[in-house]
Amino acid sequence: MKSNKAIELLAKMTLEEKIDQLMQLATPFFKGASDNGKITGPMVHLKVDVKNVQNAGSVLGASGAENIISIQKKHLEENRLGIPLLFMSDVVHGYKTIFPIPLAIGCSWNIDLAEQSAKIAAKEAAVSGIHVTFAPMVDLVRDPRWGRVMESTGEDPFLNSMFAKAQVKGFQGKDLKTNLDHIAACVKHFAGYGAAEGGRDYNTVNMSDRELHENYLPPFKNAINAGVKMIMSSFNIVDGIPATANKYLMRNILREQWGFDGVIISDWGAVKELISHGVASNEREAALKALEAGTDIEMMTHCYTENLKNLVESGELDESLIDEAVIRILQLKDDLGLFENPYRGADIKREQKVVMSNSHRKAARELAAESCVLLKNEKNVLPLEPMQKIALIGPFVDSGDILGQWSWLGSTDDAVTIAAGLSKKVKKNEVLISKGSDITMITEDLKKQAVETAKLADVIVMAVGEHSSMSGEAGSRSNIQLPEAQLELLKAISTVGKPIVTVLFNGRPLDLHGVIEHSDALLEAWYPGTEGGNAIGDILFGDQNPSGKLTMSFPYSAGQIPVYYNHYNTGRPKGAPDAQVRYVSQYLDSPNDPLFPFGFGLSYTTFQYSNLKLSKNQITKTDKLIVSFNVKNTGSVSGKEIVQLYISDTVGEVVRPVKELKGFKKIELDSNEEQTIYFELSEVDLRYFHSNLAYKSDPGTFIVSVGSSSTEVIELSFQLIPTKEDQ
Ligand code: BGC
């Protein structure tokens, strides 16, 4: 439903004015801007004139209440119909208070905290004048070579869907017109971008439509169900057609099948890139294809402004398609209340109080601690004791580069380093600090100093990882080991013979050769954000019990990639009872399994699963199946456990994944406490996309597995039987 305001305005607009509404430019183009904003893609020479800018619909990458108020004011003075600008930016995992990277947030499995982090990010952004965030990014990811895995919540469609919804709710709240502490969300990148071949950014994507529907589309659907206002199309091709010109994706799936009525924006420069892809011979054709396919806003190229008018006049393009796109944009402006209040939440005074407030930092610390994943803890090296003499070694000891990519306004100066975090925890002794190496460079001197420092300590904490620019957009790597310099450092430190706790800062699952064998304990801290050092201190000293679990498998080696838990069975699965020695699906030189699987993560306590029961061993379409089991904290400290439920469909019309996550809960148990956990399943949870894309279930046997990871489970089976009407 379009508002009267939007309809009335459209009627008054000239064709040129309409076309310019479809253009999105970065901050430097606008009068009144006090800085250049954030540039997140290649700046090309754009053929836009003063008139185009005066009529523009939206701005990319501006921030700050004063700045945005000033741009909007100038714009309203110059725009004939007084149509306010929309300000859009990448507020991905925080505005200025930076939360852990999304992959880390995924590993918290804490949907409530994820929603809260989006809510806080929205509040900071809104008071600083922003209207729309280009988030959440919900691409399913299976290839850690791809730098953008850090922006996703991981390899599972169910989990990604839960996070998609939580983030949309957190950003948008209930009503954007009345609640000025929220901003509109733009879910991205539609679709399949996570499957770039070889993990190389912007590369070809090649997958079946069924695969797209089964794994890649569900979080987008859930974001739409949660009311997301915008969608960004992706850079890649889908079945040979770039997403930005893909009618099937936008007109058929988004508009017709899913009824999405919000705005679709291209990714940066993607309309013009139709020429490089080789599906348009010039900008004119690129504009025609993108608009006809359903791209409403062209980000950062000028194909629309340069060509749409002529295309309408020549009769090649129906003006009604332009009208449809414009009215959606006007509607979004109306939904945000911009016609009544073009400055919306922007408030210079309040901005000072809201942005980076103590309560926001506190929330960031809590989520960072819940996002860390303890991968190894031998001989109970962890938690550390405040009386121990600790040597802190590695290029991250004093580094604020722990915010990760897409932290935009986050300042590394505001970040609590690991040195600062640990120093607050120790009694009496100082933390002995030595850098040992840079990220990619080591000298004999640095190494020697670090070894000498290590000798003085009871326990060594190694702070190592990737520079943040080694992941994120255009941050693909073919070798995903720790940089050589740091492997050398770790090896040298291991010769000292003291217990080593390795803390990893990185934006992707790594190949841990050279790390795991020299570490007695291993904590994956990801890029934990502004409060990173404090959160890591909380975990290492046991003030917080680690409770994160991986949402993306850690490969044994890069040669296994892609390796993920919800893979299909082959005709010759390894480990089958009658399997031969050679002619099975395996590597000659590596295990099939990842080093650490999906759902894995240790705690300072242990949990025991028992007494799995199903309320029925047969269900029909109309029944509910209650799955119950006990979880007991069998260790000596309280802890949080992420209880996971998977199903396996033993026979399908098409091959089914060996396991699929269908439920999870994050629970907290005191030492020795036992709780009975209940999940409810029904036929709906057993549905999948058939070869003709029909989404339905098949009668047959299903296995329910529950446990603490995708591989440590107890299981039972049940039958789905047809009702009389089905037969
Ligand atoms: C990225 C998007 C981002 C956009 C605007 C592009 O390069 O792919 O994720 O939202 O820039 O900053």
Average pLDDT, the chain: 96
**pLDDT given at position 48:** 87
Fill in the amino acid letter for 552: M
Could you tell me the sign of the dihedral formed by the alpha carbons of 689, 692, 693, 695, in that order? negative
DSSP structure class, residue 482: P
Q: CB of 24 closer than 6 A to ligand 1?
A: no
Q: CB of 188 closer than 6 A to ligand 1?
A: yes
Give the integer Cα–Cα distance in Å for 451 and 72. 57
Q: CB of 267 closer than 6 A to ligand 1?
A: yes
Q: CB of 660 closer than 6 A to ligand 1?
A: no
- Segment 206-265, tens digit of pLDDT: 999 999 999 999 999 999 999 999 999 999 999 999 999 999 999 999 999 999 999 999
Is 558 a residue whose pLDDT tops 80? yes
Quick one: three-class SS letters along 654-705?
Answer: CCCECCEEEEEEEEEECCCCEEEEEEEEEHHHHCEECCCCCEECCCEEEEEE
**pLDDT given at position 560:** 97
Query: Closest Cα to residue 325, out of 717, 673, 20, 714?
Result: 20
Fill in the amino acid letter for 451: V
Q: CB of 139 closer than 6 A to ligand 1?
A: no
Q: CB of 331 closer than 6 A to ligand 1?
A: no
**pLDDT given at position 520:** 98
**pLDDT given at position 679:** 98
Give the SS3 label for residue 61. Answer: coil
Name the residue of 88, 171, 267, 476 to mutate for ligand 1: max ligand atoms within 8 A of Cβ: 267
CA–CA–CA angle 34, 40, 41 (5° rounding): 120
CB 460 within 8 A of CB 393: yes
pLDDT band at 430 (very low <50, low <70, confident <90, very high): confident
**pLDDT given at position 565:** 98
Average pLDDT value for residue range 3-17: 96
**pLDDT given at position 351:** 98
Q: CB of 298 closer than 6 A to ligand 1?
A: no
Give every CB contact of residue 142 below 8 A, 6+ residues apart in sequence.
155, 194, 195, 552, 561, 562, 563, 564
Is 32 a residue whose pLDDT tops 90? no
pLDDT band at 368 (very low <50, low <70, confident <90, very high): very high
| Ligand 1 atom closest to residue 38's alpha carbon, by position in its atom list | 12
Is 577 a residue whose pLDDT tops 90? no
Tell how strand 618-619 and strand 432-434 pair up: unpaired
CA–CA–CA angle 578, 580, 582 (5° rounding): 160
> Which of 35-39, 72-76, 290-294, 679-683 has the weakest average pLDDT?
35-39
Is 36 a residue whose pLDDT tops 80? no
Give how far the C-alpha of residue 148 lies from the chain's centroid of Cα atoms, to the nearest Å. Answer: 8
Architecture (CATH level 2) of domain 358-540:
3-Layer(aba) Sandwich (3.40)
Query: Closest Cα to residue 392, out of 426, 366, 364, 415?
Result: 426
- Segment 682-693, tens digit of pLDDT: 999 999 999 999
**pLDDT given at position 53:** 92
Give the integer Cα–Cα distance in Å for 70 and 48. 21
Give the integer Cα–Cα distance in Å for 412 and 432. 22
Give the integer Cα–Cα distance in Å for 644 and 660. 10
Indicate which residue's Cα is closest to atom 2 of ligand 1: 267
Is 723 a residue whose pLDDT tops 90? no
Give the integer Cα–Cα distance in Å for 176 and 344. 10
**Locate tokens 């754009």: which residue?**
46
Residue extents of the structural domains in the chain: 1-83+313-356, 358-540, 607-726
112 counts as catalytic? no
Name the residue of 36, 43, 90 to mutate for ligand 1: max ligand atoms within 8 A of Cβ: 90
**CA 653 to centroid of ligand 1, rounded, Å:** 39
Q: What is the DSSP string of 102-136?
A: HHHHHHHT-HHHHHHHHHHHHHHHHHTT--EE---
Convert 235-263 to b/e letters by CB count within 10 Å (16 or more is b).
bbbbeebbbbbbeebbeebbbeeeebebb
For 357, half-sphere exposure in the C-beta direction (CA atoms, 13 angstrom radius) is: 13
Tell how strand 132-133 and strand 86-89 pair up: parallel
**pLDDT given at position 256:** 98
Give every CB contact of residue 201 below 8 A, 6+ residues apart in sequence.
146, 147, 148, 473, 474, 475, 476
Average pLDDT value for residue range 619-629: 97
Query: Closest Cα to residue 640, out of 412, 374, 420?
Result: 374
- Segment 135-173, tens digit of pLDDT: 999 999 999 999 999 999 999 999 999 999 999 999 999
**pLDDT given at position 318:** 97
**CA 79 to centroid of ligand 1, rounded, Å:** 27
CB 79 within 8 A of CB 54: yes
Is 127 a residue whose pLDDT tops 90? yes
Q: What token pair was written down for 10?
A: 């459209």
- pTM of structure: 0.98
Question: Does domain 607-726 correspond to CATH entry 3.30.1370.60?
Answer: no
Q: CB of 90 closer than 6 A to ligand 1?
A: yes
Q: What token pair was written down for 464?
A: 């190592």
Residue 84, by phi and psi: left (phi above 0), alpha (psi -120 to 50) or beta? beta
Fill in the amino acid letter for 44: V
- Expressed in percent and rounded to 5, the helix, strand and coil fractions of the chain are 35, 20, 45
Indicate which residue's Cα is closest to atom 4 of ligand 1: 268
Radius of gyration of the chain (CA): 26
**pLDDT given at position 336:** 98
**CA 267 to centroid of ligand 1, rounded, Å:** 6
Query: Closest Cα to residue 462, out of 498, 413, 426?
Result: 498
Share of the chain above pLDDT 70, in %: 100
Average pLDDT value for residue range 27-41: 81
> Which of 198-207, 426-435, 462-471 has the weakest average pLDDT?
426-435
**CA 564 to centroid of ligand 1, rounded, Å:** 26
CA–CA–CA angle 442, 445, 447 (5° rounding): 55
- Segment 292-301, tens digit of pLDDT: 999 999 999 9
CB 259 within 8 A of CB 228: no
User: Which residue in the list 156, 267, 296, 520 is annotated as catalytic?
Assistant: 267
- Segment 299-336, tens digit of pLDDT: 999 999 999 999 999 999 999 999 999 999 999 999 99
**pLDDT given at position 423:** 96
CB 275 within 8 A of CB 298: no
**Locate tokens 């030189």: which residue?**
589
Average pLDDT value for residue range 117-131: 98
Is 653 a residue whose pLDDT tops 80? yes
